[in-house]
Amino acid sequence: MIRHLVVTCTLALSVMLVGCGKKSSGKPTPELAPRGTPIAITVTNKGFEPDHILVEKGVETQLVFTRKTEQTCAKDVVLTIDASNQIRKDLPMNQPVTITATFPVSGELRYACGMDMISGVITVQ
């Protein structure tokens, strides 16, 4: 009985902690994937999913984009590393496209469609 109570309290506490970790957008903060794990990003009717990812500074990271809808304009993706370094890739339907990149500076970067209407955020930590 007591043990059950403790488990319940721990659960409630972790729910509260998760709640505090949320950004103002109401979406949970992304978690850092283990090194070497490709990060999958899907293009759906809602845009990029997920639209916020977390990567480790200075570690080569693979982002695998797969477009699964014809309904949005995101038929390509532009990843901005810095002012002089942009990676642009076409996103053919249902075909995973891998971008391998290393992020040298911590902060926030963006990935977006070619017209910059649909986008996501990369937090480099």
**Interface with Cu ion (CB under 5 A):** 73, 113, 115, 117
* Residue number, 99 or 113, with CB nearest to Cu ion: 113
- Contact (CB, 8 A) for 91 and 74: yes
End-to-end alpha carbon distance in the chain: 42
For the CB of residue 75, give the shortest distance to Cu ion in the complex, in Å: 8
* Residue number, 51 or 56, with CB nearest to Cu ion: 51
Dihedral sign, Cα of residue 20, residue 56, residue 32, residue 93:
positive
Look at strands 85-90 and 76-82 and give their pairing: antiparallel
Q: For tokens 């570690």, what's the residue? A: 59
* Residue number, 12 or 115, with CB nearest to Cu ion: 115
How big is the CA angle at 6 (ends 4 and 10), to the nearest 5 degrees?
120
For the CB of residue 43, give the shortest distance to Cu ion in the complex, in Å: 10
For the CB of residue 99, give the shortest distance to Cu ion in the complex, in Å: 17
* Residue number, 113 or 121, with CB nearest to Cu ion: 113
- Contact (CB, 8 A) for 39 and 107: no
Length of the chain: 125
For the CB of residue 118, give the shortest distance to Cu ion in the complex, in Å: 5
